[in-house]
Amino acid sequence: MEVISNGTRIIYDDVGRGEPVLLLMSGWCAPRTYYKDLIALCSSNRRCLVVDWPGHGDSQLPAKDFGEEELVEAARAVLAKSKVRRVVPVAAAHSGWIAIELRRQLGEMVPELVLLDWLVLKPPQEFMGALKGLQTREHWQEVRDALFKGWLSENPNAKIAEYVQKEMRTFGYEMWSRAGREIEKSYDRYQSPLKALEELERPPRVHHIFSIPKDEAFLRDQEKFAEEHSWFRVQRLDGHSHFPALEDPQTVADIIERSLKAP
């Protein structure tokens, strides 16, 4: 399927039936093939839309620079053409910023968000430094390769290694620097995703699913936040990667379905 957003051709998959519809969104420098296994499972229960962002996968690269605002517009164009009435964004990593903005703009049309492996707390300085490094021509490859090494060092999953090395590595400086710039802007503006969610006029239900880090403090801080905010839930999987939809799609699909059926 395709739709035009800001003059750019956006490609997406539309499979399954039933609402609320799942809108599966990959992170920066990550094509929609990230969801190839998860969509096969989720679409047996409900309709799934899986989008390639501008300049990603099969979607057209815009003639001009773009950022999170254009990603939000692309997502809204897909929803409008698909005549969706209720949608639950399933957001990998920093596409979570897009999910939050969709809730801000569309309100009750977005009753719930599913966040997959995201740095939802205030980021450490090392991470913010990496975002700045991605924006320099001298150091972007070094920073990117360090990220890849960290993502793959403790993970024996061949699917994840292939996805990172054969798909994410195809993106060059322009896209990686754009990713660093846009992610940095969002953290600078909101301090953390949890704070951004907290500041919404009416936060939706939010479910964060992740495997690593195994640092107990990362989980404990989220559990404390959940105790204080009834709309937030967190679940750590018994996995070893930042790619739960590839590493354990069945568990992720089961959690999503249970979450959508919860009262």
> Which residues are part of the catalytic machinery?
242
CB of 22 closer than 8 Å to CB of 47? yes
CB of 73 closer than 8 Å to CB of 245? no
Sign of CA dihedral 104, 109, 112, 118: negative
- Local structure of 61: helix, strand or coil: coil
CB of 163 closer than 8 Å to CB of 246? yes
In sequence order, what are the residues at sequence separation of 6 or more whose Cβ sits closer than 8 angstroms to the Cβ of residue 245? 34, 35, 37, 38, 92, 116, 252
Q: Which residues of 26-41 are buried (b: 16+ CB within 10 A; e: fewer)?
A: bbbbbbbbbbbbbbeb
Stretch (H or E) spanning 144? helix 140-152
- Local structure of 111: helix, strand or coil: coil
- Local structure of 79: helix, strand or coil: helix
Nearest CA-CA partner of 246 in 234, 237, 258, 259: 237
Assess whether the previous peptide bond of 193 is cis (omega < 30° from 0).
no
Nearest CA-CA partner of 187 in 121, 258, 111: 121
